[in-house]
Amino acid sequence: MSSTTIESRKTAIVTGASSGIGYEITKELARNGFIVYACARRLGPIDDLINDLAPELTTELAKAVIKPYQLDISKEDEVKQFRVFLEKELPNGKLDLLYNNAGQSCTFPALDVTNDVMEQCFKVNVFGHVNMCRELASYLIQARGTIVFTGSLAGITPFPFGSIYSATKAAIHEYARVLHLEMKPFGVRVINVVTGGVATNIADTRPLPDDSVYNFPEGRKAFEYRQSMAKNHHPMPADVYAKELIKDILSDKDPVDVYRGKLATIMSYVMMLVPYSLLEWGLCKKFKLDKVFEALKSKAESKTKSD
């Protein structure tokens, strides 16, 4: 644990800090010499985070280095207000780390996603991060700091019932890669964390719509299996993931993509090496879509005979 004094600590911002990855990243940053602005829509859990750290850092120090800030990154005006707030909070105008972690899941068949659901997912997973980078760029450039994004295997793998979530992650992956190139002249690192299975509470529990084309027994079973995918496959604990990410943040290396979390590295090679037709076959088997095909084929054959 770092013994860095308050005056010499670096400064970080973590969005989505109230649970999961953001919660554990905030703790690890505090342990490693950062003052952290822990941003979230709900601030209650941040008090728990401070209490978790108190036995290690002392209550006084934990309260000094963890600074809760209520922020909904899907609202551009709140992001701009945060920038104004930081003008007074950062007297030297430096921000060493922006960790864009806040996220929202969206698990629905592609044909069932409403405009409102799609728009909200993009606002949180894409627009919010883009707005944060734009508004806080001058502080990061002044510090020659680091920007991190919580990407996802979903951004490179066509997991069924995840079309919109996957689209948002694919978008932020590409944004991060271009930003990585554009920030090089300013000495700002950009890291896109292609994240595999991590134990968080992000899973989407909304039910299958009544009018869904998948609303029949085999379709519902496949959908329910997809909803429980993460918890049923022994995901990496969030604190273990955070410890790995701290090494990336503190390193002098400048990668674009790093692969962290359960199966992240393996699936990256699968996506590069396995023919797409074989990949789709495997995903159909894995996510029980083969049973959906069988049910629809049987229904069609029965209809043909009755006609």
CA distance 55 to 50: 10
Nearest to 106 by CA among 203, 235, 242, 199: 203
Q: What angle do CA 93, 132, 42 make, to 5 degrees?
A: 105
CB contact at 8 A, 71 and 99: no
Q: Which neighbouring-strand residues pair with 162?
A: 108
Within 8 A by CB and 6+ apart from 201, the residues are: 19, 20
69, 99, 165, 175: the catalytic one is 165
- 165 catalytically annotated: yes
Nearest to 139 by CA among 185, 80, 96, 182: 96
10, 123, 169, 262: the catalytic one is 169
CA distance 254 to 256: 7
18, 74, 152, 166: the catalytic one is 18
Cβ-in-10-Å burial (0-12, 13-18, 19+) of 241 comes to buried
Task: List, in sequence order, the alpha helices (H) in the chain.
Answer: 20-31, 44-57, 59-65, 76-89, 115-122, 128-143, 163-183, 217-227, 238-250, 264-273, 276-286, 289-306
Cβ-in-10-Å burial (0-12, 13-18, 19+) of 94 comes to middle
- 75 catalytically annotated: no
What is the torsional sign of CA 43, 47, 48, 49? positive
- 214 catalytically annotated: no
- By annotation, the residues acting in catalysis are 18, 165, 169
